[in-house]
Amino acid sequence: MRRLTEGARRLGLVITAEQLQQFHCYQRVLLDWNRRTNLTAITQPRDIEEFHFLDALTVALAIPGAVKGGGSLIDVGTGAGFPGLPLKVCFPAMNVTLVEATAKKVRFLEHVVDALGLSGVTVWAGRAEALAHSPDLRERFDVVVARALAPLRALAELTLPFCKVGGVGVFPKKGDVRQELAEADQAVRELGGSRPEVRAVPEEVLGGQRALVLVGKATPTPLRYPRRPGIPEKRPL
């Protein structure tokens, strides 16, 4: 996994032999399950390494050190575990919660967490719109992340309710994000978010046009959000 270790180094991360073994195991299990169930469109080992593992690790650029060392992170719409699980492998002291609506993906997640021997990972089956109203999960997390879930305008409603005031949402995005940010302006404010900040991912990691959109949680999210399942995307704020 030279691309992964080299890319991680460029992100300022050192991957230990044990972590490398966990990434190998994760890749093996993902390839194996993906033959039977459709978990991800990315199926080539080298693509898993780059577009799942390394891409997930770029999020580390925006996670505060104290959170890496024992804070809490929730990944909403994690699919086969991205970006939450590679971050957990890299920062084993961090408490990671994964939210996923599709049952077969949840089964995979439970299996792979076990296969990697990870502790401090909690998997929730269900929709963010419902789970974000549970007292166990609402405004409980230092960092909320989500990749490829929705445009920021809807994403804010699906994710910011999980985030503590003073915490941050980190959303990896590709391409020009200006339009997406402009469209999300009002929704982010309504949900208690601060003005989004864009942090570019250094080009030498995965090529150009990759950025992290950071949204600080400034004030509590009004209790009426998120609205019913499907509404945040159908009728974005």
Tokens at 73, concatenated? 């992170």
Rounded CA separation 214/173 (Å): 11
Dihedral Cα 163, 15, 112, 230, nearest 10 deg: 30
Is 154 one of the binding residues for ligand SAH (CB under 6 A)? no
Closest separation between CB of residue 173 and ligand SAH, Å?
11
Is 129 one of the binding residues for ligand SAH (CB under 6 A)? yes
Closest separation between CB of residue 17 and ligand SAH, Å?
26
Is 169 buried (19+), middle (13-18) or exposed (0-12) by CB count in 10 A?
buried
Rounded CA separation 11/201 (Å): 9
Q: At CA 39, angle to CA 35 and CA 44, rounded to 5?
A: 60
Is 33 one of the binding residues for ligand SAH (CB under 6 A)? no
Cβ–Cβ under 8 Å, residues 71 and 143? yes
| Residue in 57, 89, 113, 149 binding ligand SAH, rule: CB under 6 A | 149
CB neighbours of residue 7 within 10 Å: 22
Task: Give the CB-nearest residue to ligand SAH.
Answer: 79
Specify the residue, 163 or 166, whose C-beta has the smaller distance to ligand SAH. Answer: 163
CB neighbours of residue 195 within 10 Å: 12
Which span sits near ligand SAH by CB under 6 A: 27-35, 62-70, 86-94, 142-150? 142-150
Number of residues binding to ligand SAH, judged by CB under 6 A: 16
Rounded CA separation 95/75 (Å): 11
| Residue in 82, 91, 108, 162 binding ligand SAH, rule: CB under 6 A | 82
Which span sits near ligand SAH by CB under 6 A: 64-72, 93-101, 185-193, 199-207? 93-101
Binding mask 97-126 for ligand SAH (x = CB under 6 A): --xxxx--x---------------------
Where along the sequence are the contacts to ligand SAH (CB under 6 A)? 77-79, 82, 99-102, 105, 127-129, 147-149, 158
